[in-house]
A and B are shown apart, each in its own frame.
With several copies, the nearest count.
Chain A
Amino acid sequence: MNAALRHRLFWPALVLVLLILLNVLFTDGFLSIQMRDGHLYGSVIDIFRFGAPLILVALGMTLVIATGGIDLSVGSVVAVSGALSCLWISGLDDQDSVGGVLAAVGLALALSLVLGAWNGLLVAGAGIQPIIATLILMVAGRGLAQLIADGQIITVNSDPYKLIGGGYLLTLPFGVIVVLAVLALTAFLTRRLALGLLVESVGGNAEASRLAGIRSRGVIVMVYTFAALCAGIAGLMISSNVSSADGNNAGLWIELDAILAVVIGGTSLSGGRFSLGGTVLGALIIQTLTTTIYSIGVPPETTLLFKALVVTVVCLLQSPAFRAKAFRRRGRPRATRPAAGEKARVPA
């Protein structure tokens, strides 16, 4: 019991359970999963389905953050990737041609990789600070998406494309399968192969890593590229889900949700240790929170406050400093201290 309490992910997991309970109270059959038209159907499935792009983006973000960086441009990459693939598909004679859709997907992902590499080069090569380097692409990427889509919402009508974000395979939403695959791949690269160690080392102390012979630049370019790739896939999912690409709104604010998911999952923004499982948990909390807001009928004006409230609670519970203060009485009494010094003002 005590070991569970101490576990890094105990508190976020608790919050997730509470959120789900709240939903169960408000919505009958929230947890029930049915079979409909040969695929699984239910609120829980929805959470995974709509959460899939966020989980993907957050996975990429986790590695970036672990190197001590941050990527604000993922939202724009989501938009660019969706816009490019939809543009390509909309230009096909036969939108249902699998080859054409694959080409579109390949093209969009290739562009994402290029964008990610650009981020990585600005950070590792030119030495621009990550927030700023990716802020540039965040701004430019929206412009690029608008340019690609010519300021319009591009609508496509392609069954194979629809599969990516809205379809099902073996009764499961296709998006969920993609997430599982990317998660497995990431876990393999970082935990089976040595990428994780190198990333954590670069994030923990870049200079020491350099002196240990690590090619930090390569590692950094790699994680930004990976993050952009994840964002590119997420962009395909989002645009496929609604069969259209909206250069202005697709992926808006997703970078903040992703950063939040990473932090809720226990990865520190100052770099170093990261937790993929934690990130997935964090993303699920955020998605469940959104679903909760819709299903328990929080009025639109207070939606933001409600969201902020839950996030605050999770973050406070995640903070050791706060826990130490809040739960002090439970533990052994500690030596009392003179309170005098506390009140003195900061010399100004």
Chain B
Amino acid sequence: GCGSGGSSGAAGDGKITMGFAQVGAESGWRTANTTSVREAAGKAGIELKFSDAQQKQENQIKAIRSYIQQKVDVIAFSPVVESGWDTVLKEARNAKIPVILTDRAVDSTDTSLYKTFLGSDFVEEGRKAGKWLVEEYGDSKDPVNIVELQGTTGSAPANDRKAGFAEVIGADPKFKVVASQTGDFTRAKGKEVMEAFLKSNPDIDVLYAHNDDMGLGAIEAIEGAGKVPGKDIKIITIDAVRDGMRALADGKINYIVECSPLLGPQLMDLAKKVVKGEQVPARVVTEETTFTQEQAKQALPTRQY
């Protein structure tokens, strides 16, 4: 067509082809992530080959191998697990195909195996949540009883969000986590666990949920117990999916730390640079923010997910 940018990518027709190996479709967040990548690719004029690994590493390796065989220009993927990628990444390097990691990191010591890692910093998300809490209760001396709804036991976001949060609130002994249980990142579990918390802990001041969905479930439990979410119990969650933002705008959630799935545009920019052979930073953090109730009301009309 009328391309004027002097794109001299590897592909013969000048169009960049990207192979993207997604983790799966395990949550709304992930689906938004997939949609973002797809849309951004369309906008950027990049041809996208997409696969879904259903949370299995071997599937992802297979998908990457098939991209190598199909001689795409660039491979991007969200690793299911951190390790075990050396072999297949070496194959990609041998085939001179650059690799971009998204959302999750790999633990390889050989950083030449991939060009860059684009994604959120879960520990930082936990810290942001903690900081808001510390500020909110800055003046009070009374103890603050916190309950925590963790993500799936053993998953990286759950571990990191717990750790970041604990790190910040640990400085002040008035913050006490009185109960902490996994809600498997789902609304149903979040609700069920919160119902039990409400009965076994009469004085809960704050709920910290590792994602919006569990928080949304918990809100129903709190309402069922005759309390007012956002007032009687302050709620902090992470993610900022649309339902969460709506609850925030309605005053049922007090604070949301964004964990944006919309890394499509950033990914496409990076991909173009990488294919051109430009230098890119080894770690790119997704552009993310935090939302208070006021900010949510403003942001809500333009939210994409």
Direct contact of A and B (CB under 8 A): yes
Residues of B194-239 whose CB lies within 8 A of A: 195-197, 199-200, 213, 216-217, 220, 224-226
| A161-186 at interface with B (beta carbon < 8 Å) | 166
Judging by beta carbons under 8 Å apart, are B51 and A248 in contact?
no
Cα separation A248 to B25 with both chains bound (whole Å): 8
Given A153-B83, A248-B153: A295 in contact with B200 (beta carbons within 8 A): yes
- Of A26, A247, A293, chain B has the most CB atoms within 10 Å of the CB of A293
Assuming A27-B200, A155-B107, is B27 touching A248 (CB within 8 A)?
A: yes
Residues of B within 8 A of A300 (CB): 22, 25, 50-52, 150, 153, 180-182
B188 touches A238 (CB 8 A): yes
- Which of B62-70, B122-130, B274-282, B283-291 is the interface stretch? B62-70
Q: Which residue of A lies closest to B21 (CB)?
A: A294
The listed residue (B31, B52, B191) touching A242 by CB distance below 8 A is: B191
- Tally of chain A residues near chain B (CB < 8 A): 44
Q: Using known A-B contacts A153-B83, A241-B191, determine if residue A46 contacts B154 with beta carbons closer than 8 Å.
A: no
Contact of A303 among B27, B52, B186 (CB under 8 A): B52
Query: B33 → chain A, closest Cβ, in Å?
Result: 11
In the assembled complex, B57 has its CB within 8 A of some CB on chain A: yes
CB contact under 8 A between A244 and B87, given known A46-B65, A249-B188, A297-B179: no
Q: List chain A residues, Cβ under 8 A from B181.
A: 293-294, 297, 300, 303
Residue contact B226 to A146, C-beta cutoff 8 Å: no
Main secondary structure of the interface of A (DSSP, over half): mixed
Cα-based distance from A42 to B195 in the complex (angstroms): 9
Segment 136-163 of A: residues with Cβ below 8 Å from B: 146, 149-153, 155, 157
Q: Which residues of B contact A248 (CB under 8 A)?
A: 25-27, 152-155
Roughly how many angstroms separate A267 CA and B107 CA in the complex, as a whole number?
A: 42
Q: In whole Å, how far is A244's beta carbon from the nearest beta carbon of chain B? A: 4
Q: Residue B54 at the A interface, CB < 8 A? A: yes
Among A37, A42, A152, A252, contact of B28 (Cβ-Cβ < 8 Å): A152
Q: Are A294 and B197 in contact (CB under 8 A)?
A: yes
- A288-310 vs B, CB cutoff 8 Å, 1 = contact: the mask equals 00110111110111011000000
Residues of chain A contacted by B51 (CB below 8 angstroms): 294, 297, 300
Interface residues of A in 241-291 (CB under 8 A from B): 241-244, 246-250, 252, 290-291
Instruction: Pick the residue among B34, B49, B58 that contacts A297 (CB under 8 A).
Output: B49
Confirm or deny: A190 has a beta carbon within 8 angstroms of a beta carbon on chain B. Answer: no
Interface string of B13-48 (1 = CB under 8 A from A): 000000000100111100100100000000000000
B199:A153 contact, CB within 8 angstroms: no
B58 touches A151 (CB 8 A): no
Indicate whether A50 reaches chain B with its CB closer than 8 angstroms: yes
B residues within 8 A CB of A28?
A: 69
Instruction: Tell whether A50 pairs with B199 under 8 Å between CB atoms, given A27-B69, A294-B66.
Output: no
Assembly CA distance A146 to B27 (angstroms): 10
- In angstroms, Cα B63 to Cα A210, docked, is 50
Cβ-based interface call for A209 (8 A): no
Complex interface: chain A residues within 8 A of B200 (CB): 26-27, 294-297
Q: Does B144 contact A (CB under 8 A)?
A: no
Most buried by B among A149, A152, A290, A301: A152
Q: Which residue of B lies closest to A250 (CB)?
A: B188
With a CB–CB cut-off of 8 A, which chain B residues contact A146?
Answer: 25, 153-154
Q: How far is the CA of A157 from the CA of B87 in the complex (A)?
A: 13
CB of A24, distance to nearest CB on chain B (Å): 11
A-contact bits for B126-152, CB 8 A (1 contact / 0 none):
000000000000000000000000101
User: Quick check: A246 and B81 within 8 Å, CB to CB?
Assistant: yes
Inter-chain contact B188/A247, CB cutoff 8 Å: no
| A50-B155 in contact (CB<8A) | no
**Given A27-B199, A41-B225, A155-B243; A244-B27 close (CB under 8 Å):** no
Q: Does A334 contact B (CB under 8 A)?
A: no
Query: B159: CB under 8 A from chain A?
Result: yes
**Contact flag A46-B80 (CB < 8 Å), given A241-B188, A300-B50:** no
Q: Are the CB atoms of B55 and A249 closer together than 8 Å?
A: yes
Contacts of A242 in B (CB 8 A): 57, 81, 83-85, 187-188, 191, 216-217, 220
Nearest first, the 10 A-B pairs at minimum CB distance are: A242-B84, A300-B52, A294-B196, A244-B83, A295-B200, A242-B187, A151-B31, A153-B28, A300-B182, A249-B186
Interface residue ranges, B against A (CB under 8 Å): 22, 25-28, 31, 34, 49-52, 54-59, 61-63, 65-66, 69, 80-87, 107, 109, 150, 152-156, 159, 179-182, 184-188, 191-193, 195-197, 199-200, 213, 216-217, 220, 224-226, 243
20 contacts between A and B (CB under 8 A): A28-B69, A29-B69, A46-B196, A151-B159, A153-B213, A155-B243, A157-B109, A166-B87, A241-B188, A243-B83, A249-B26, A249-B184, A249-B185, A294-B59, A297-B51, A297-B200, A300-B22, A300-B25, A300-B52, A303-B52
Besides A244-B187, A300-B25, A300-B180, 14 new A-B residue pairs in contact (Cβ under 8 A), listed by A number = A46-B199, A50-B192, A151-B34, A153-B27, A153-B28, A153-B187, A153-B213, A238-B188, A242-B216, A243-B86, A246-B28, A294-B197, A295-B197, A297-B200
